[in-house]
Structures are given as structure tokens and as C-alpha cells.
Amino acid sequence: MASIGLVCFTVLICSFPSAAVSDFISVDCHEATVGQLDRPSVLTCVITWEEGITDVVVRRVKWQKKGEDVPLLHYGEPMISRPGYSFAVNPWTNRTMNVSLLISRTTVADDGDYTCDVASDSGVSQGRTALRVTAKYSQPTVESIHQGATLKALHCVSVGGYPAGELRWFDAERYDWTGSATTEMTKMDNGLFNLSSTLALSEKSTFPKYICAVFNSSRRKEAEVIWEKVEELPDHDRSTMIQSSKVVAPLVVIGSLIVGLLALLVYRRRIHQIRRPSTTPLMGPRNVPTEDPDVEEGVPEEEEEEEKDNKGEGRMV
């Protein structure tokens, strides 16, 4: 009984200091981080301490994903660093208080909850965080399904997204027709999802266009495509139009040439008329008397001389 009591006392003595100093430090982590597929992700955790602690020396850091036995990163004994996982701060030392985890290339398998355990000369603490991986879905594509010459349905596909999303159908007035569609979701080997949806159309459907949109797990629209109805001509009418176009095109070219030639002939004729020599006999130019504003109209030159003489005689008298 004495030996049992001694063992219990020893356990209490050994565990007490750890409990006493465990409150001196704290590992503060972001609640969650959103990481994009195939890109780096950082799970942020920082060591803080209470007032009065001037220096902290880290003895051990262990990053572990919930549900896995082997740590992703372990500083201490033993040293473990799985490929693709490292400290976000480089170089990192035992006096670096930023113990964030860097995931060099995010995959779907990295989605989940994580813990960061820290032991130092000033106590121990554990931080918790989560990584939520997202991958955008591809631009939707729509193809029409016919039965003979009748349009029966529309089929929409969008692939490569994560987490699971949904496809929704709308008409031109943005009325939701998803309830009339059949949707399938397939999970691929890499964890990504493929979405497909088929919207059945009745013979009385008069909408000129439909919209297929892909929404992510947060019900946010990522992309959409518009399908517009095109009236197709029968093969006979289509061939008739092709033959008509083959005949009309040469006629248009010939007509243009004729119009151009006619315009050229008219232009040359006008130039010829302008340059044609005058039919007037070759004679010297006639002297055309110019009008003198000081000479009264209708008075002959001889009468003017007589008036001048009379005036002169009158002055002499």
C-alpha cells in the first residue's frame, strides 16, 4: 500500500507543474481558412503569452489532421515533415512564435479539421482550426435533344467543382424551372464533382431561350450559359437557299461591273464636252465698250464736243 501511495504522489507532483504553467501561453488560431484547389493554403496559428513572460522557447510543435494518426509536421523528437507541409515562416526557429502551417498545393484530401499542439518552457497549449477546400465548376455547356424534328429536352453539364454544387434552370424571365429537371451528381476519383441536368420540354413550350446556371455549396452562382431557340429549316429549303445564293452572288458582281462601266462612260462624255473646240470663226476679239459712270447714256461723242465748245465760249463772255 505504501508503494502505491508513493506512485500516486509522484504522479501528482509531476503533473502539477504542467497544469500550473499551461495557462502562461496560448495557441491562437483562425477559426477556418478557405483554400483553393491546387494553390497554397496557410493555416494560421500564433503563440501568445500572459503578461510577465519575457521569453518563450518552443520545445515541441505538432500539426495533425483530425482522423489521421501520423502528424503532418512535428518539431521535436522525432522530427517529422511530410512532403508538401512546412512552417509558413521560413526559416523557423524555436523562438519563432508564428507556428502557422503551409500547405504547398491544396487538394480535396486537405479539407477538414486540424490541431496544433505546442509545448514550451513556459507551458503547453493546443489550437484548433479548419481548412475548407473549394474548386470552381467549369463553364456550363448546353446541348439540345431532338426526337426527329421535335425538340424534346435540354442537357446541361458542368464539371470539376468542390464541394458538391447544383445546376438550376431559368427561362428568359428568370422563372425557376429546376423542379422540372432531372439532375445527377458524380464524384470523381480526385474528389471533385461533375454535375449534369436534363430539362424536359413540352411541345407547347414557347420560351425563346433558357438559362443553365451552376451554384456552389454556398448557393452562390459561379457561371451560367444561355441557350437560344433557333428555327431550323428543312433540308430541302436549306439546299434551295444555298443554290439561290450561288446564283445571286455572280449576278451581284456582274451588275456592279456594269454600273461602274456606265459611270465611267458618262464621266468621259462630260469631259469631252468641256474640252470640245468652239465653232466661232477665228476672229479677233470685238471691242466691247466699257461703261463709264461719268458719261451719260445715249449722248453721241460729237454732241459732247459741241457742248464743251459752247461751255468754253460762255466762260469767255
pLDDT value at position 244?
44
pLDDT confidence tier of residue 17, bands split at 50, 70 and 90: very low
pTM of the model: 0.63
According to DSSP, the β-strands at 123-134 and 33-36 are parallel
Do 75 and 169 reside in the same domain of the chain?
no
Instruction: Tell me: do 81 and 162 sit in the same domain.
Output: no
The answer as to whether 311 is a domain residue is no
Both 192 and 218 in one domain: the answer is: yes
Claim to verify: residue 106 and residue 153 sit in the same structural domain: no
| pLDDT tens-digit series, residues 59-78 | 999 999 999 999 999 999 88
Q: Quick check: is 206 in a domain? A: yes
Q: Let me know if residue 162 belongs to a domain.
A: yes
**Which of 81, 108, 134 marks a domain boundary?**
134
Provide the pLDDT for residue 54.
78
Give 20 or 146, the one with higher predicted confidence. Answer: 146
**Per-residue model confidence (pLDDT) at position 191:** 95
Q: Are residues 128 and 30 part of one domain?
A: yes
What are the tens digits of pLDDT across the range 183-218?
999 999 999 999 999 999 987 777 889 999 999 999
Say whether pLDDT at 27 is over 80: yes
* Residue numbers of the domain that contains 49: 20-134
| pLDDT tens figures, 265-307 | 877 777 766 655 544 444 444 444 444 444 344 444 444 444 4
Per the prediction, the chain carries an average pLDDT of 79
CA distance 257 to 259: 5
The structural domain count of the chain equals: 2
Residue 245 domain-assigned?
no
Q: Domain boundary at 96, 115, 134, which?
A: 134
* 173 located within any domain: yes
Same domain, 171 and 197: yes
One domain for residues 37 and 90 = yes
Q: Give tens-digit pLDDT for 243-252.
A: 444 544 566 6
Exposure string (b/e) for 85-96, b if CB count within 10 Å is 16 or more?
bbbbeeebeeee
pLDDT at 126 over 60: yes
Q: 56 in a domain, yes or no?
A: yes
Mark whether 39 and 125 lie in a shared domain. yes
Q: Is 4 exposed, middle or buried (0-12, 13-18, 19+ CB in 10 A)?
A: exposed
Instruction: Indicate if 111 and 152 belong to the same structural domain.
Output: no
Residues 31 and 87 in one domain: yes
Instruction: Indicate which CATH number applies to the domain containing 183.
Output: 2.60.40.10
Residue 219 lies in a domain: yes
Query: Is 127 inside any structural domain?
Result: yes
Same domain, 86 and 108: yes
Same domain, yes or no: 29 and 108: yes
